[in-house]
Amino acid sequence: MTHSHLPARHLIKQIECDRANRTKRDIRPAWLTALIEFAAELFEPLSDVGRVGFDCRLDENGWTAALYLGAVELLGGKDDGQTRQLDFRFDLQPLLERFTRVEDVSWTVFPQGDRAAGDKPHSLIAIDGSIGTDRLRVEVHSSAPAAAGPGLRRLPDGRFEPV
């Protein structure tokens, strides 16, 4: 009984660490979060439903936001465990209109993928420019990176659940 304070101290320490980590986790400015939410609405899956994923990085050149439509993992039946990328349409014009200044728009295609990384063929459209005084690169990828895993699971009854 004399050591009953140890679990309480550990719990308090864990709560303090979690609280500190929560504030560190998302360093994105509000304008970038709003842009990502806006851009996510521009994905239009051509079949089924999709879930948008993203990755943000800050470096000496400014922010980079990479967006993609997550894969769907199939559960049950003969295709159980397989993942499928979704066909989609993305409306670039509204995203371009959000930029204060556009310096470059490019389309890059990797027909063989990056075999060393285990990637499949994919492409991306990149927009380099500024929003206000902040430099930004937005990349819209044709498929989710392998490390991202599926965004949704399709259940045998046809329903979808987020992963």
Spatial contact of 141 and 126, defined as CB atoms under 8 Å apart? no
pLDDT value at residue 134: 95
Window from 40-49, 56-65, 73-82, 120-129 with minimum mean pLDDT: 73-82
Please, where are the H alpha helices in 58-102?
A: 92-98
Which residues, 6+ apart, have CB-to-CB distance to 144 below 8 Å? 53, 68, 69, 70, 71, 85, 150, 151
Quickly count: other Cβ atoms within 10 Å of residue 15's Cβ: 10
pLDDT on residue 10 = 47
Q: Span 63-87, mean pLDDT?
A: 85
pTM of the predicted model, to two decimals?
0.75
Across all residues in the chain, what is the average pLDDT? 82
- State both tokens at 104: 């470059």
Q: Is the pLDDT of residue 8 over 50?
A: no
pLDDT band at residue 151 using 50, 70 and 90 as cut-offs: confident
Contact 103, 129 (CB under 8 A): yes
